[in-house]
Amino acid sequence: MLDRSFRQTRVFSKGPFARFGPAFSIEPEGRGSRVVYALEWEPLGLVGRLSGARLTEKAGAVVARRVEEAVAFLRGQRQTVFDFPAPTLPAGARERALALADAVDAGPYGHKLGRRLVEHLLTGMEVDIARLKPKLLARVLGVGSRQAAELCLASVRAGLLTMKWDLLCTNCRGAKFSTAALSELPRGAHCPSCNIDYDRDFERNIELTCAPSPTIRPTGQGAFCLSGPTMTPHVLAQQLLARGERRVVEIDLPPGSYRLRTLHPSRPLEFDHAGGPLPGLRATPDGVEAMAPGAAGTMAFHNDADFELAALIEDRTWTRESLTAPEVISLQAFRDLFAAATLRPGDEAGISQVTLLFSDLRGSTALYERLGDAQAFNLVREHFSFLAGIVREHDGAVVKTIGDAVMAAFDDPAHAVTAALAMQTRIEAFNHAQPGNVAGDELTIKLGVHAGPSVVVNMNDRLDYFGSTVNMAARLQGQSAGGDIVLSRAVAEDPVVAPLLARHDTRRESVALKGFAEPVPFVRVLPAAATVAAAASA
pLDDT digits (tens, 9 = 90+) for 181-196: 988 988 888 888 777 8
Q: What is the pLDDT of residue 437?
A: 64
Q: What is the pLDDT of residue 535?
A: 34
Number of residues written out for the chain: 538
- Mean pLDDT, to the nearest integer, of 289-303? 92
Question: pLDDT band for position 222 (50/70/90)?
Answer: low
- Judged by DSSP in three states, 78 sits in coil
Task: Tell me how far apart the alpha carbons of residues 314 and 237 are, in angstroms, rounded to a whole number.
Answer: 7
How does DSSP assign 175-214, residue by residue?
EEEEESSGGG--SEEEETTTTEEEE--TTTSEEEEEEE-T
- Mean pLDDT, to the nearest integer, of 275-303? 91
Task: Tell me how far apart the alpha carbons of residues 236 and 225 are, in angstroms, rounded to a whole number.
Answer: 17
The domain limits of the chain are 1-83, 93-212, 235-315, 342-537
- Mean pLDDT, to the nearest integer, of 314-319? 77
How does DSSP assign 377-434, residue by residue?
HHHHHHHHHHHHHHHHHTTEEEEEEETTEEEEEESSHHHHHHHHHHHHHHHHHHHHHS
Task: Tell me how far apart the alpha carbons of residues 125 and 71 are, in angstroms, rounded to a whole number.
Answer: 19
Task: Tell me how far apart the alpha carbons of residues 225 and 223 are, in angstroms, rounded to a whole number.
Answer: 7
Structure letter (DSSP) for residue 482: S
Task: Tell me how far apart the alpha carbons of residues 271 and 462 are, in angstroms, rounded to a whole number.
Answer: 36
Question: pLDDT band for position 230 (50/70/90)?
Answer: low
Residue 124, pLDDT > 60, answer yes
Residues 6 or more apart whose CB falls under 8 angstroms from that of 91 comprise none
Task: Tell me how far apart the alpha carbons of residues 302 and 289 are, in angstroms, rounded to a whole number.
Answer: 10
* Listed range (37-41, 79-83, 281-285, 486-490) with the worst mean pLDDT: 79-83
CB 463 within 8 Å of CB 345: no
- Judged by DSSP in three states, 259 sits in strand
Q: What is the pTM of this model?
A: 0.82
- Judged by DSSP in three states, 1 sits in coil
List pLDDT tens digits, range 411-467.
Answer: 999 999 999 999 999 999 999 888 766 666 789 999 999 999 999 998 888 899 999
What is the spatial order of strands in the sheet that 161-168 belongs to?
175-179, 161-168, 206-212
Residues 6 or more apart whose CB falls under 8 angstroms from that of 498 comprise 492
- Judged by DSSP in three states, 14 sits in coil
CATH homologous superfamily of domain 342-537? Nucleotide cyclase, GGDEF domain (3.30.70.1230)
